[in-house]
Structure 1
Amino acid sequence: MTETVVDRLFRYVVIDTQSDPTSSSQPSTEKQKDLGRLLVSELLSFGLDDAHLDEHGNVYATIPGNTEKTVPVICFCSHMDTAPDFTGTNVKPQIVKNYQGGDIRLTGDTSQVIRVSDNPELAHQIGHDIVTTDGTTLLGADDKAGIAEIMTAARFLIDNPDIKHGTIKILFTTDEEIGRGADKVDLTKLGAQFAYTLDGSTVGEIENETFSADGVEIAITGVAIHPGTAKGKMENAIKIASDIVARLPRDITPETTEGREGFIHPTGISGSMDSARISLIIRDFEEEGLKTKEALLEDITREVMTAYPGSSYSFKVREQYRNMKVVLDRHPELMANLEEATRRVGLTPKLTSIRGGTDGSRLSFMGLPCPNIYTGGHAYHSPLEWVSRQDMEISVKTIVELVKIWEERATA
């Protein structure tokens, strides 16, 4: 095998797989299946005869175990879609070989610069080969780096049968970036007891905790009337929606919070004089924090509406995902084995919390406990996204060491 993890990454990122939050279907975009079909073809070429793409775009495959021990069935999972935040069409991956420090100016849009001041991890990348875009699109390393790493590890394990391991399941999902990645996963068909997502960032950082997340939709019905005769009568729904957004506290927004602080974040506002809609996401590590923020948001809405007696509103909360740590703490072997695998590849494991979510959040609460492993990617959801070839190779090695550890620690 001469194909590298970067060869795979380059092949995958040029396939446009952006998901669409406005679509109600799954996958939300049919083009996600283009990557799914390619992955199935590659898995079949590896000799994994059960590899297939289901109607929802999810890819399933099995690497049979080769040990006499009773080993829990482990799944490795990544998502195929890329974020709607920035275009993923016509991606042109670039590589800066033997990076020697300094800012990286991108070639397709020279106003786009990966600055060391914004990416302190670059200081640890001297001598690495850095993959970027040309600056006109996102790269899609979130999560095609994870896919490339799982595929590379799978091929390595198949080509090295002397490495003993239990049954390994592979799962690639759609629509993770819009909060639906696990919605149509068939856990019975998957048949795994535990799982790991490859959807993290800095190598060595392993994640057993995510935000808990809700979405909120506020629909406003105003009073529309001809502006020439509107005095004392018109109640403009656009202005009502704008007033609600303007009153959101500035100290609980994504741009003013960090660490374990949660936030209220408007993601869309639309409408006309007679009706308007505000879409928001609420994030917190604690369930109580979510409820407090939702109550605050409705209090603000109710207060604004008092100035518009002829208008009305609806306030709908939709659960998106919950903090997976609640589930993972019941299965300490999951993190213990991952920490040991991290040490075996020469890293010091650092337990971190995700200011966001992964498929692992949903899968954990569906009955498949699922922490998150680093991929080496950085600056996700932007044209400044980058990943190191050497860091991706470390992630591949981590997968291999992890399946070895599960086999070593299993009962005879």
Structure 2
Amino acid sequence: MPSLLNDAVKLPCGLVFPNRLSKAAMAENLATSDSNPNENFNLAYNRWSDGGWGMIMTGNVQVDVDHLGNFKDPAVQTDYETKSSKLWKAYAAASQKHGSPTIVQLAHPGRQSLRGAGRRGLFAPTIAPSAIPLTIGNNFLDSVITSLAFPRPREMTQKDINTVIRLFVDSARFIAESGFSGIELHAAHGYLLDQFINPKTNLRTDVYGGSAENRARLLLDILKGCREAVPATFCIGVKLNSADHSAANLEDTMTQIRLLVDAGIDFLEVSGGTYENPRMVDGDKPAISQTKSARTAAREAFFLDFAKETRKRFPNLVLMLTGGFRSRAGAEAAIKENACDLVGIARPAAVNPRFAALLLDEGTRDEDAQISLDKVRPGWLPKLLRSQILGAGAESTYYADQIHRLAKGRATAVPGH
């Protein structure tokens, strides 16, 4: 009997994903000094295109070349040079060569932009809804490293906000013209749009701060502008955090989701974490419930409650859950429980670009339709210094290295092997 993961999913815009499995976003760290995609992108994404995925999500594509999250992030160039346009069209063609629609994750890092990443200058500040610096780790060394790595942000003016809206809209138009199937507005993981949504990082007293509706205003303004700039059949999704939301502000979050639904999003991806609390790059948790701490169990229970509550209130919203899926059984369980319509899978796709095909293959037994990934351990120095920030990038770096190997046609490996 075919797995229900084989079911097609049709979005409100009319785009159809041929199955429920999505290669989720991962940082590729492949862009050249001009922040354009290159042949390495094409080679890696061609491998995923041939992997049986119902949808492929790119890593972060920054909308502002002056503000990159990492030094090798790709970014849309607002001058739309002929050379740049050709490179992006080649990227779109490679990623969709075998029929998997590809969605570009558009982002602005805000205060989570490394010093020197982008063209703003080494000593220029980052931008954020409020001038609240990052706090990573809880010791003196982490504090010093954070202040050196991430400039203190300045509070955005109305002119800055207008510029960011224009950059997102221009980028959406360019991505559509390049031949991709859609975009996802990245409003999670502590990036700029999430900084506006979150009351902890948005202390503004103007129309972009205060109430849940006001904090969502920038995202909604961008969504409206993008929808007007692209064809009706072009997909626009949104990525939101879930694990960061407590019961105390659940109603604010549901209010913001309702605004997005009313604005006509095609799907909502639920994820979690920020640079300060990087749940999206944590290692796998133990599979046996008895070994889990009470805190971990409570957080996971709330995640399920969040998904079920979202489904209850917005039954027609196409919902994508990302994080921790390692098996056919796990992915099927999420669908059967009506927690989501789409299953986002990241790290397994970096070590096996055909992981989706494996899960969808009726000839593969359930016990073989899975992968085990050990946690990537930081080196001895972060442990010795008890530094969170020095060890935080171990997971992302490891899987970016696997993507580099995909691009070069080399064998990949799971951690610890």
TM-score scaled by length of structure 1: 0.25
TM-score scaled by length of structure 2: 0.25
Task: Tell me which protein shows more strand as a share of its residues.
Answer: 1
Higher-Rg member (1/2): 1
Higher RCO structure (Cα 8 Å, ≥6 apart): 1
